[in-house]
């Protein structure tokens, strides 16, 4: 519930502070006194948009603040997002002349969107023209669900419907992807087959190039090898003869002995080198077929490198990646799996929607009977409220399309509630509807903005009774021109002009007597009006 509403520098108000009570809270005052400004302050606190025209003349900044005590259900929804520690929440917003603004909840900065979403949970503002459900058929369906206690079933359907729509979206995206990738898949298969035939491996190009070069010069290499082997062996023999002389004639020490030892090692190394060279070049011979094979292989590899625009290592990695992709789940199997899943979810969603629709069909006439009973008390005994419920294709809120209709009198044709011409008839239908569903509404605060404007004074008592019934379940803030409504309030604020500005003050009992008399007769000191006011206030206390 709303505990306190404060605002400064707003329109005609320098400032105001209102402390509200449980049940019915009323605002009264002459036309133009500023009652609408009070409701505008609350609307701004609940996330409404600010315009420069709302700033008081000469002021640089306007401020609004609303202190709410949250019911556990709303506290649970917002505890984590707003870091709430207890059940009270102070919404404070400041609006500067230059267009900048600041929003805070319990002293912490929040976004304007967060305030708007929180505001929708905390209060609902209703008037004759923008009344709950008069135009929005989804809201009407929500009221029917609230009246019938179908919120849990609706939540189950919404979850199932969301899963089904997500599966359908995934299925459609998969189908589209497979269609657009048809040519790519064919190219993929072609590339895999081409690379499979080529079968490239890392390091192969260098190995082939080296072997090709060797075979291409086999004759020259063999001849050069033979000459080098022969010369090396001859030289090794000459070295051995000379080294023998050095060993025999030189002493054991000195440079000659040392060089002789090195020469023996060198001769041995030369013999080993000649033997290895002989083995490497001795079998070399022209191999035209092998040379042709190597050339073809080398040309094929290099052509593939150019075609795929990848070097040897990159091409091998690309081939491995293609093989992995080709080895994944078959596309047709994937589609079949998604189609089956979507079909199962659609069946489950539809079944839940059918059950929800049946429950709505049972609840609709009960709601209509209750609203019509209350309309009778509001001097519309000949009028008939009805709930037209039709089955439709599955949607976010089920398989039902609801429309609230009103037949103002027996001769009239039933029309959608929002199209009823008479403001008084719309207002009475709204009051009856609110009273009928009041025990099922989630919103803790209902704000009624002059919905009794088009009603005569003779409807004052029935309207007051409807509002008091509504206030049994929800806190109500009502701007009224009817004395019985004002007298029935648990808390009564008078909005009045003070010079060029406005003021809102809570009336004590004696002041309430004068104000209610003023609303009855247009003057505060009329004995008859005072007696009627005393009677109304006494009846409200009883």
pLDDT tens digits, one per residue of 122-175: 987 776 555 444 567 787 888 899 889 898 999 999 999 999 999 999 888 888
The larger pLDDT score, comparing residue 185 to residue 218, is at 218
- Mark whether 103 and 228 lie in a shared domain: no
Number of domains composing the chain: 3
pLDDT of residue 228 exceeding 90, the answer is: no
pLDDT at residue 412, rounded to an integer: 80
**Final residue belonging to a domain, choices 268, 298, 326:** 326
pLDDT at residue 492, rounded to an integer: 94
- Mark whether 491 and 514 lie in a shared domain: no
- Mark whether 542 and 477 lie in a shared domain: no
pLDDT band at 6 (very low <50, low <70, confident <90, very high): very high
- Mark whether 513 and 475 lie in a shared domain: no
pLDDT in tens, 186-196: 677 778 888 88
The larger pLDDT score, comparing residue 148 to residue 183, is at 148
Mean pLDDT of the chain: 85
Whether residue 315 lies inside any domain: the answer is yes
- Mean of the pLDDT values across residues 20-27? 92
Whether residue 480 lies inside any domain: the answer is yes
- Return the closest-CA partner of residue 41 out of 21, 30, 24, 27: 27
pLDDT band at 462 (very low <50, low <70, confident <90, very high): confident
Q: Which residues contact 189 (CB under 8 A, 6 or more apart)?
A: 326
- Mean of the pLDDT values across residues 90-103? 91
- Return the closest-CA partner of residue 322 out of 195, 202, 197: 195
pLDDT at residue 159, rounded to an integer: 93
pLDDT at residue 349, rounded to an integer: 94
Whether residue 457 lies inside any domain: the answer is yes
451 backbone dihedrals φ, ψ, rounded to 5°: -75, -10
**Which percentage of the chain shows pLDDT scores above 90?**
29
pLDDT in tens, 168-182: 998 888 888 776 655
Whether residue 334 lies inside any domain: the answer is no
- Mark whether 104 and 223 lie in a shared domain: no
**Final residue belonging to a domain, choices 293, 326, 359:** 326
Whether residue 236 lies inside any domain: the answer is yes
pLDDT band at 456 (very low <50, low <70, confident <90, very high): low
Whether residue 12 lies inside any domain: the answer is yes
Residue 382 burial (CB count, 10 A): 13
pLDDT in tens, 343-391: 999 999 999 999 999 999 999 999 999 888 888 888 777 778 899 999 9
pLDDT band at 482 (very low <50, low <70, confident <90, very high): confident
CB 39 within 8 A of CB 61: no
pLDDT band at 89 (very low <50, low <70, confident <90, very high): very high
What range does the domain containing 528 cover? 508-542
pLDDT band at 25 (very low <50, low <70, confident <90, very high): very high
pLDDT at residue 210, rounded to an integer: 87
173 backbone dihedrals φ, ψ, rounded to 5°: -65, -40
- Mean of the pLDDT values across residues 203-229? 84
pLDDT of residue 422 exceeding 60, the answer is: yes
What dihedral angle (degrees, nearest 10) is formed by the CA atoms of 85, 90, 91, 95? Answer: -130
- Mean of the pLDDT values across residues 502-530? 86
pLDDT at residue 127, rounded to an integer: 61
pLDDT at residue 136, rounded to an integer: 74
- Mark whether 227 and 288 lie in a shared domain: yes
Whether residue 91 lies inside any domain: the answer is yes
- Mark whether 1 and 40 lie in a shared domain: yes
- Mark whether 85 and 207 lie in a shared domain: no
pLDDT in tens, 110-127: 999 999 999 988 987 776
- Mean of the pLDDT values across residues 91-108? 91
Give dist(CA 336, CA 318) in Å, integer.
30
Q: What is the CATH number of the domain that holds 495?
A: 3.40.50.300
Residue 457 burial (CB count, 10 A): 13
- Mark whether 229 and 317 lie in a shared domain: yes
Give dist(CA 124, CA 46) in Å, integer.
10
* CB-count exposure of residue 333 (10 Å: 0-12, 13-18, 19+): exposed
- Mark whether 22 and 107 lie in a shared domain: yes
pLDDT at residue 378, rounded to an integer: 81
pLDDT band at 453 (very low <50, low <70, confident <90, very high): low
Angle CA 444–71–464, to nearest 5 = 25
- Mean of the pLDDT values across residues 450-462? 69
Q: Which residues contact 191 (CB under 8 A, 6 or more apart)?
A: 308, 322
Whether residue 165 lies inside any domain: the answer is no
CB 403 within 8 A of CB 140: yes
- Mark whether 40 and 68 lie in a shared domain: yes
- Mark whether 521 and 495 lie in a shared domain: no
pLDDT at residue 4, rounded to an integer: 95
């Amino acid at each position: 519930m709303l505990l306190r509403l404060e605002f400064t520098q707003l329109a005609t108000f320098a400032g105001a502070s209102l402390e509200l009570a449980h049940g019915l809270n009323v605002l009264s005052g002459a036309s133009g006194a500023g009652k609408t400004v009070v409701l505008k302050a609350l609307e701004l606190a609940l996330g409404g948009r600010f315009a420069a025209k709302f700033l008081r003349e000469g002021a640089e900044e306007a401020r609004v603040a609303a202190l709410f005590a949250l019911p556990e259900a709303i506290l649970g929804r917002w505890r984590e997002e707003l870091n709430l520690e207890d059940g009270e929440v102070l919404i404070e917003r400041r609006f500067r002349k230059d267009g900048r603004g600041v929003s805070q909840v319990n002293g912490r900065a929040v976004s304007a969107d967060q305030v708007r979403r929180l505001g929708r949970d905390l209060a609902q503002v209703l008037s004759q023209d923008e009344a709950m459900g008069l135009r929005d058929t989804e809201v009407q369906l929500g009221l029917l669900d609230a009246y019938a206690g179908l919120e849990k079933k609706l939540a189950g359907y919404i979850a199932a419907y969301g899963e089904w729509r997500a599966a359908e979206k995934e299925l459609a995206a998969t189908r589209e992807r497979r269609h657009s990738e048809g040519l790519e898949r064919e190219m993929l298969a072609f590339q895999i087959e081409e690379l499979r035939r080529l079968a490239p491996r890392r390091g192969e190009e260098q190995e082939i190039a080296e072997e090709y070069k060797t075979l291409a010069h086999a004759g020259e290499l063999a001849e050069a090898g033979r000459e080098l082997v022969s010369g090396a062996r001859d030289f090794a023999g000459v070295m051995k003869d000379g080294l023998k002389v050095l060993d025999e004639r030189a002493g054991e020490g000195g440079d000659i002995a040392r060089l002789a030892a090195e020469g023996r090692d060198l001769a041995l190394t030369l013999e080993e080198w000649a033997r290895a060279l002989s083995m490497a070049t001795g079998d070399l011979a022209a191999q035209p077929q092998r040379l042709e094979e190597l050339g073809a292989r080398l040309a094929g590899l290099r052509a593939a490198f150019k075609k795929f625009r990848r070097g040897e290592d990159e091409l091998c990695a690309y081939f491995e990646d293609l093989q992995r992709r080709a080895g994944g789940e078959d596309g047709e199997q994937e589609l079949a799996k998604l189609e089956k899943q979507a079909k199962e979810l659609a069946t489950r969603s539809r079944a839940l929607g059918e059950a929800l629709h049946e429950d709505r069909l049972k609840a609709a006439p009960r709601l209509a009977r209750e609203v019509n009973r209350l309309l009778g008390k509001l001097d519309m005994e000949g009028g008939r409220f009805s709930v037209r419920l039709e089955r439709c294709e599955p949607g976010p809120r089920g398989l039902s399309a609801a429309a609230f209709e009103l037949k103002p009198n027996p001769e009239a044709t039933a029309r959608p509630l929002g199209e009823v011409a008479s403001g008084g008839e719309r207002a009475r239908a709204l009051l009856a509807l609110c009273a009928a569903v009041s025990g099922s509404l989630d919103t803790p605060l209902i704000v009624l903005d002059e919905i009794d404007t088009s009603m005569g004074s003779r409807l004052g008592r029935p309207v007051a009774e409807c509002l008091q019934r509504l206030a049994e379940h929800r806190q109500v803030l009502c701007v009224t021109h009817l004395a019985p409504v004002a007298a029935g309030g648990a808390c009564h604020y008078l909005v009045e002009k003070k010079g060029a500005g406005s003021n809102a003050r809570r009336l004590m009992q004696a002041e309430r007597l004068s104000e209610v008399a003023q609303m009855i007769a247009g003057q505060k000191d009329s004995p008859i009006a005072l007696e009627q006011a005393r009677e109304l206030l006494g009846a409200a206390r009883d």
